[in-house]
């Protein structure tokens, strides 16, 4: 990123855009997964654990098989399994889904570090990048517009999810489980089965988000890989008011906010580096304080959700 | 139990309802809270056993002898005087961070901000100690401890206030505050209050030597442990025998009932958060004064998150937190031995702790269902 220094503040804007495009993908996948889970009426706070397991599995399978795409798929599978664990426990009576999420976070993190120990050293085959900036001679522009195919898949997925939730029967059933479990039961649907499925799909997406971290950017496996993207998912979903399309914008915004610190560093503003890294968190908290109310639930929140009641 | 159209289910309550079993339980239940405490203990111990069995299967799948691993786990945690001292040193901050989840839980809030409060407590202890650098040892230490406590209390107190006045979900706000606190911490120790003579890692100005908290005579365990145990005991008494504690339990049990009874809900929520946050802030201050002598990233090792596990395993009971923190501290402390003896990753104990957490939560499903122990609900 040294090239950005040469073109001054224009470079900062470019670095933020590039950062947004690069960093936003895991945010996008975890938040889409969380939307799916929360729309069914359950919160999965354990996406951080799922993300790390996904990153580890993706990297391990990617480096063992030589195919990064197989790694992505395996990461999704690992995420879905952890989602199943979360759902299985939450299906028991008198179990708090938020607490289970915290447990899953700690468990998934421990498991990923345990199983991933042998994979810290080697490098795996990385996912390819799409060079959308090939038209430009400026290396900074090219670097900023180098995007992962996973981002495109994520964008397509956001649109498809938005459409599917509104227009399909499955979307309706899923939303019904989240809005009124009694109504779903009365129509003969098993609420637990719907939520289990939704949590597993959410886990699948969370796992893919992790695979992006280990197989594309930063593109290695170590214990400090995630900086809380999985935990941020829950804030992102509130930020996006449970709408998959808004998740896309929110992810880009969060990605850009995360890139603020490093981007300013390239022009020599280094003093507040850590403070800038807190920008997404402060942003979310401010929004949460602004949009919450003691009188009504958050706008757009599924009414069965434990965090909105 | 609501009546069900299924006749087989319908008849079950009829056979269980008569007064005889209730009468049998009366002996236990006549001591207030005793039966409930016994049931909680049974559930937690059962969950621990299940988690250990699952962990055994897990390590066996990795090609280790589970019995040998259990042995090493015990040895590393509680087998020798040295390991017990290690477990107690680990337990000291965990006892306090567990209170950060347990106290708000008593009024029905799920706060997970212990990590942030601890970090800020440590930071504030350094700032306060620097401000009164010329004071005598005990005074300086007291000021630093109080400063850390206040920082943590205000940090989590804000969570309670936001919950009460703005309806902000406390779990999410406390989670976000963890990250904000750590960012603030990193910012200050890497620049404004950095001790530039420490080149290995970013470290804050050192706390004056005289302010350090020493060890308990005859043990290599610092006094922070005693502070933690004392605080837990006091809080247990407050919760059990005072109007304040009773009001908190009503609020935690049923918010509507508390409203109808005219309890000051906002004040109770915020007081519970202030106490919890203060405990976690105190933990940070003690770690700085007794262990590290300055604020550095060695403070951010997940004590806050382990505290959540301990609070749930202790079922949010301050007295039960003490032995549970000792147990979990022992597990954490035995990681090194497992690593040396079996060449296992250092995350092994983390896996075990995660398993314990999951099993404890799952065990809630069996509350009220243990024959002869559970109270009818």
For range A277-293, the mean pLDDT? 84
DSSP A126: P
For range A95-99, the mean pLDDT? 88
CA torsion angle B23 B27 B29 B32 (round to 10): 140
Kindly report the three-state secondary structure assignment for every residue of B68-130.
Answer: HHHHHHHHHHHHCHHHHHHHHHHHHHHHHHHHHHHHHHHCCCCCCCHHHHHHHHHHHHHHHHH
The verdict on a CB contact (< 8 Å) between A100 and B308 is no
Residue whose C-alpha is closest to residue A20's, from A260, A275, A283: A260
> Residue A2: is its pLDDT beyond 50?
no
For range A133-157, the mean pLDDT? 84
Residue whose C-alpha is closest to residue B373's, from B128, B15, B29, B7: B29
B198: left (phi over 0), alpha (psi -120 to 50) or beta: beta
Alpha carbon of A123: minimum distance to chain B alpha carbons (Å) = 20
At residue A161, the pLDDT reads 96
Residue A126 contacts by C-beta under 8 Å, 6 or more apart in sequence? A68, A215, A216, A219
At residue A291, the pLDDT reads 81
The verdict on a CB contact (< 8 Å) between B361 and A99 is yes
Question: Which residue of chain A has the CA closest to B343?
Answer: A117
pLDDT by 10s per residue, chain B, length 377: 344 444 444 444 444 444 444 444 445 445 556 777 888 889 999 999 999 999 999 999 988 999 999 999 999 999 999 999 999 999 999 999 999 999 999 999 999 999 999 999 999 999 999 998 887 888 999 999 999 999 999 999 999 999 999 988 899 899 999 999 999 999 999 888 888 888 788 889 898 888 888 888 888 899 999 999 999 999 999 999 999 999 999 999 999 999 999 999 999 999 999 999 999 999 999 999 999 989 998 899 889 999 999 999 999 999 999 999 999 999 999 988 999 999 888 889 999 999 999 999 999 888 877 766 665 54
Alpha carbon of A287: minimum distance to chain B alpha carbons (Å) = 10
Residue B139 contacts by C-beta under 8 Å, 6 or more apart in sequence? B132
Alpha carbon of B237: minimum distance to chain A alpha carbons (Å) = 26
Contacts of A288 in chain B (CB under 8 A): 168-169, 172-173, 176
Longest dimension (CA), chain B: 79
Least CB-CB distance to A289: which of B166, B308, B351? B166
The verdict on a CB contact (< 8 Å) between A102 and B308 is yes
Tokens of A197: 């499925």
The verdict on a CB contact (< 8 Å) between A295 and B169 is no
Contacts of B363 in chain A (CB under 8 A): none
At residue B117, the pLDDT reads 97
A41: left (phi over 0), alpha (psi -120 to 50) or beta: left
Tokens of A147: 């995007």
The verdict on a CB contact (< 8 Å) between A94 and B364 is yes
The verdict on a CB contact (< 8 Å) between A293 and B358 is no
Tell me the three state secondary structure of residue B204.
strand
Residues 215-234, chain A, touching B (beta carbon < 8 A): 223, 228, 231, 234
Cis peptide before A218 (omega within 30 of 0): yes
Identify the residue among B171, B189, B297, B359 best suited for mutation to test binding to A, counting A beta carbons within 10 A and taking the highest. B171
ipTM: 0.89
The verdict on a CB contact (< 8 Å) between A289 and B168 is yes
Question: Which residue of chain A has the CA closest to B363?
Answer: A95
Residue scoring higher pLDDT (A309 or B100): B100
Distance spanning both ends of chain A, measured CA to CA: 46
Least CB-CB distance to B358: which of A89, A98, A223? A89
Proportion of chain A above pLDDT 90, given as a percent: 50
Identify the residue among A111, A264, A274, A291 best suited for mutation to test binding to B, counting B beta carbons within 10 A and taking the highest. A274
Residue whose C-alpha is closest to residue B109's, from B229, B257, B265, B307: B265
Tell me the three state secondary structure of residue A80.
helix
> Residue A111: is its pLDDT beyond 70?
yes
Output the average pLDDT for chain A: 87
Residue B338 contacts by C-beta under 8 Å, 6 or more apart in sequence? B69, B72, B73, B76, B344, B348, B349
Tell me the C-alpha to C-alpha distance, in Å, between residue B1 and each of A183, A304, B11, B16, B54.
21, 22, 12, 11, 33
Report d(CA A242, CA A36) in Å as an integer. 9
Touching check for B54 and chain A: CB below 8 Å? Answer: no
Element (H, E) at A147: strand A146-147
Residue B268 contacts by C-beta under 8 Å, 6 or more apart in sequence? B107, B244, B247, B248, B251, B258
Q: Where are the domains of chain A?
A: 25-239+279-291
The verdict on a CB contact (< 8 Å) between B173 and A285 is yes
Touching check for B291 and chain A: CB below 8 Å? Answer: no
Residue scoring higher pLDDT (A129 or A110): A110
Domains of chain B: 44-366 (1.10.3470)
Residue whose C-alpha is closest to residue B307's, from B119, B155, B159: B119
This prediction has a pTM of 0.88
């Amino acid at each position: 990123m040294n090239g950005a220094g040469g073109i001054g503040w224009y470079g900062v804007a470019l670095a933020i855009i590039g950062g947004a495009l690069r960093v936003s993908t895991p945010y996008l996948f975890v938040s889409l997964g969380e939307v799916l889970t929360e729309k069914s009426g359950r919160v999965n706070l354990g996406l951080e654990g799922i993300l790390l397991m996904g990153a580890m599995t993706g990297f391990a399978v990617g480096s063992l098989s030589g195919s990064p795409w197989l790694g992505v798929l395996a990461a999704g599978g690992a995420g879905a399994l952890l989602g199943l664990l979360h759902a299985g426990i939450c299906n028991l009576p008198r179990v708090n889904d938020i607490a289970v999420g915290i447990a899953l976070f700690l468990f998934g993190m421990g498991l990923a570090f345990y199983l991933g120990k042998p994979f810290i050293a080697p490098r795996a085959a990385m996912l390819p990048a799409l060079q959308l900036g090939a038209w430009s001679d400026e290396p900074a522009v090219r670097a900023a517009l180098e995007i992962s195919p996973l981002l495109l898949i994520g964008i397509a997925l956001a649109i498809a999810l938005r459409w599917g939730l509104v227009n399909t029967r499955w979307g309706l059933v899923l939303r019904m489980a989240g809005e009124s479990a009694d109504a779903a039961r009365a129509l003969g649907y098993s609420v637990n089965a719907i939520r289990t499925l939704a949590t597993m799909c959410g886990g699948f997406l969370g796992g893919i988000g992790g695979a992006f971290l280990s197989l594309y950017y930063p593109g290695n496996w170590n214990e400090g890989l995630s900086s809380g993207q999985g935990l941020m998912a829950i804030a992102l979903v509130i930020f996006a008011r449970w709408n998959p399309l808004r998740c896309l914008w929110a992810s880009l915004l969060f990605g850009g906010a995360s890139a603020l610190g490093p981007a300013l560093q390239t022009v020599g503003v280094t003093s507040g580096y850590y403070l800038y890294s807190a920008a997404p968190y402060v942003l979310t908290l401010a929004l949460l304080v602004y949009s919450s109310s003691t009188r009504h639930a958050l706008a757009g929140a599924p009414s069965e959700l434990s965090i909105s009641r | 139990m609501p009546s069900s159209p299924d006749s087989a289910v319908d008849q079950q309550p009829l056979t269980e309802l008569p007064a005889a079993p209730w009468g049998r339980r009366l002996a236990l239940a006549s001591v207030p809270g005793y039966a409930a405490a016994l049931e909680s203990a049974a559930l937690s111990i059962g969950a621990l056993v299940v988690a250990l069995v699952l962990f055994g299967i897990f390590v066996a799948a990795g090609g280790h002898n589970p019995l040998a691993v259990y042995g090493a786990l015990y040895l590393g945690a509680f087998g020798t005087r040295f390991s017990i001292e290690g477990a107690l040193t680990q337990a000291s901050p965990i006892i306090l961070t567990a209170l950060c989840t347990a106290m708000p839980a008593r009024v029905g809030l799920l706060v997970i901000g212990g990590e942030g409060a601890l970090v800020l407590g440590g930071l504030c202890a350094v700032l306060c100690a620097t401000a009164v650098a010329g004071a005598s040892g005990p005074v300086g230490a007291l000021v630093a401890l109080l400063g850390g406590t206040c920082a943590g209390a205000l940090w989590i107190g804000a969570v309670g206030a936001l919950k009460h006045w703005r309806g902000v979900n406390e779990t999410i706000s406390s989670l976000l505050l963890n990250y904000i606190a750590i960012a603030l911490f990193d910012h200050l120790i890497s620049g404004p209050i950095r001790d530039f003579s420490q080149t290995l890692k970013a470290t804050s100005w050192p706390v004056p030597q005289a302010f350090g908290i020493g060890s308990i005579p005859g043990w290599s365990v610092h006094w922070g442990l005693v502070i933690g145990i004392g605080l837990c005991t006091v809080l247990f008494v407050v919760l059990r025998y005072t109007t304040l504690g009773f009001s908190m339990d009503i609020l935690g049990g049923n918010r509507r009932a508390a409203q109808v009874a005219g309890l000051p809900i906002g004040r109770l929520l915020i007081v519970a958060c202030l106490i919890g946050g203060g405990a976690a802030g105190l933990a940070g201050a003690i770690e700085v004064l007794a262990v590290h002598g300055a604020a550095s990233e060695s403070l951010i090792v997940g004590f806050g998150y382990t505290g959540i596990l301990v609070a749930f395993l202790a079922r949010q009971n301050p007295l039960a937190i003490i032995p549970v923190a000792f147990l979990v501290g022992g597990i954490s402390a035995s990681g090194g031995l497992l690593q040396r003896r079996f060449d296992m990753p250092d995350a092994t104990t983390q896996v075990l702790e995660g398993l314990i957490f999951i099993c404890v939560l799952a065990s809630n499903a069996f509350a009220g269902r243990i024959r002869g122990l559970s109270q009818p609900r």
